[in-house]
């Protein structure tokens, strides 16, 4: 009778051990998936931070440009020029928004290396091969 009890207990322990090993294996898999997801989130965060830094640099550059000019006075003295400048800047800004929301870069944007070829509103976003000087 004592031996039978020990055998029954042993069988129960084997079943419980199998269940525990299965649970441990599942937990390890969940942990590995969480680590992988964490790494993906961290990579995405780093990419977003890089884009944020680039956009901040573009914003600072634009603020610097705008602070050098009195647009009101320039508009009075040369309205045609101001209209042309504003229209080009608006087109460039719209293109910046397109790129920031996922539109692929064109061949011309990728190939731009001269100041006259770049999108002056967001050069780091629109023209990654251009080095701002």
Report how far residue 90's alpha carbon sits from residue 19's, in angstroms, rounded to the nearest whole number.
65
Per-residue pLDDT, 18: 93
Q: Please tell me the number of Cα atoms within 13 Å of 21 on its side-chain side.
A: 6
Q: What residue ranges of the chain have pLDDT lower than 50?
A: none
* Residue 57 host element (H or E): helix 2-67
Residue-level pLDDT at 57: 84
Q: Given this model, what pLDDT does residue 133 score?
A: 61
Domain ranges for the chain: 1-68, 70-133
pTM of the model: 0.52
């Amino acid at each position: 009778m004592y031996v039978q009890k020990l055998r029954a207990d042993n069988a129960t322990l084997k079943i419980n051990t199998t269940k525990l090993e299965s649970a441990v294996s599942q937990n390890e898999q969940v942990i590995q998936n969480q680590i992988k997801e964490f790494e993906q989130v961290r990579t995405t965060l780093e990419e977003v931070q890089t884009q944020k830094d680039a956009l901040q640099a573009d914003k600072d550059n634009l603020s610097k440009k705008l602070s050098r000019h009195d647009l009101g006075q320039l508009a009075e003295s040369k309205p045609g020029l101001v209209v042309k400048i504003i229209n080009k800047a608006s087109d460039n800004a719209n293109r910046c928004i397109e790129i920031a929301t996922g539109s692929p870069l064109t061949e011309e944007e990728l190939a731009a290396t001269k100041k006259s070829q770049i999108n002056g509103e967001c050069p780091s976003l629109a023209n990654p091969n251009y080095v701002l000087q």
